[in-house]
Amino acid sequence: MKKAIILLSGGLDSATCLVIAKEQGYKCYGLSFKYGQRHQFEIKSAKKLARHYNISDHITMNIDLRKFGGSALTDNIQVPKKRNENKMSKEIPITYVPARNTIFLSFALAYAEVKDSNDIFIGVNALDYSGYPDCRPLFINSFEKMANLGTKTGINDSSIKIHTPLINMKKSEIIQKGIALGLDFKMTHSCYDPYENGSPCGECDSCILRLAGFKQAGLNDPLEYNQ
Amino acid sequence: MKKAIILLSGGLDSATCLVIAKEQGYKCYGLSFKYGQRHQFEIKSAKKLARHYNISDHITMNIDLRKFGGSALTDNIQVPKKRNENKMSKEIPITYVPARNTIFLSFALAYAEVKDSNDIFIGVNALDYSGYPDCRPLFINSFEKMANLGTKTGINDSSIKIHTPLINMKKSEIIQKGIALGLDFKMTHSCYDPYENGSPCGECDSCILRLAGFKQAGLNDPLEYNQ
């Protein structure tokens, strides 16, 4: 059975990635990060998903990106609220965490080598993507090339593949895909700045994109907002 | 004053990189890793170098690569001893840590973005390089391309540069360069598997390459071996 490493943030996108990889017949290994983000609710969601889908192993790496700072997600900078959805992708927002996906993919690459896997899944999305440079196909393709030059696996047969099944999907399509594969989105967590009890704020970019996605899909988000 | 991030392992190569960057006029920021390696002597050396050269900041990141394992440096696998120097580069040795330089460079990239720096120095060496895939120019060039696609800095002006001043130098030439720039190699640590008091073993690949380098340069290694 072919193996895959799934970058599992606990969000809507990575959860959909996991069910897609399972549908494609992969034996799945999850990888999550405590990177100094503002809260641990997404890690709880990732663990819930890992248990629910009975994946082969789930590693949570501790990497303290607060040592660098420089983002509203890892520093004492306020998370923007109530931004207009259409304006979001025009600029790189303050919630961008410097080189985060490069770091996450690098660890996934190490994990893949150790597990003799050539396949890494990441739920990046270039349409409703909040303007992050490290969610673009150009970046992903470039990372894949680099990965095949910098690892034992890659040198042997250039077979490392970064799978981005969501990259050209709209948020509403991702949601529909997840639902079609039986995913319960109640297990996922997307909010950048939740209330103390974990309830999503409904006003950060991530909540706005999520809510718009459900609306466009003609579905209700099972999460309870502003509680 | 232009700023540079220096990947500072505390070894002979990274120490030479640091003095080269300083000579080139960079304001230097050091980055070291506790990655689950067999010992902390190289971190001690990195700190010593950072203090001695009075660099602007020195961050040590904790990343537990033992969670993945798969290398003699991060797992319960014996470090090879007394290998023939000429045979070393014919294969990828068991001391190869999966994707290690990719991970280190990714963190350096994050640090560079936060510090508004476009320059990263890494002491990789493709001649006496112990056969690691992630020490080759092909890999470094590819990482640089990827870095310029996946970051805010890169998107703005494609100006991120991965400096590898040692890449085409023989170990003996690196040592001569360091000496010429006033570097005291007693501050550095290269051994993969030192004695409990930090004394280098003299028999692992890293010690063998280092000793051969000093011999070829017609110099004495100031470290005391096998004590």
Summarize pLDDT for A173-203 with one digit per residue, the tens: 999 999 999 999 999 999 988 998 999 999 9
Of B59, B69, B110, the CB nearest to A103: B110
Output B156 or B146, whichever has higher pLDDT. B146
pLDDT (tens digit, 9 = 90+) per residue, B206-226?
A: 999 999 999 999 999 999 997
B121 backbone dihedrals φ, ψ, rounded to 5°: -110, 130
**What integer pLDDT is reported at residue A73 of this predicted model?**
80
Q: Return mean pLDDT, chain B.
A: 91
**What integer pLDDT is reported at residue B184 of this predicted model?**
97
Cα–Cα nearest to B162, from B131, B110, B121, B211: B121
The ipTM (two decimal places) reads 0.91
B90 at interface of A, judged by CB pairs closer than 8 A: no
A152 at interface of B, judged by CB pairs closer than 8 A: yes
Taken as a whole, chain B contains a residue count of: 227
Mutation pick from B107, B111, B130, B157 vs chain A, by most beta carbons of A within 10 Å, is B107
What lies within 8 Å, CB to CB, of B194 at 6+ separation is B39, B41, B200, B201
Instruction: Give this prediction's pTM.
Output: 0.93
Residues in chain A within 8 Å Cβ distance of B133:
149-152, 154-155
Q: Return mean pLDDT, chain A.
A: 91
Question: Cα Rg for chain A, rounded, in angstroms?
Answer: 17
Give chain A's residues under pLDDT 50: none
Domain segments of chain A as ranges: 3-216
Long-range contacts of A206-209 (CB under 8 A, 24+ apart): A206/A11, A206/A95, A206/A130, A208/A82, A208/A83, A208/A85, A208/A88, A209/A85, A209/A88, A209/A128, A209/A130, A209/A171
Residues in chain A within 8 Å Cβ distance of B111:
68, 98
CATH superfamily, region B3-80+91-189: HUPs (3.40.50.620)
Lookup: tokens for A177: 């895909």
A134 at interface of B, judged by CB pairs closer than 8 A: yes
Q: Which fold has domain A3-216?
A: Rossmann fold (3.40.50)
**Contact predicate B215/B208, CB 8 Å:** no
What lies within 8 Å, CB to CB, of A51 at 6+ separation is none
d(CA A211, CA A42): 17
**What integer pLDDT is reported at residue B89 of this predicted model?**
61
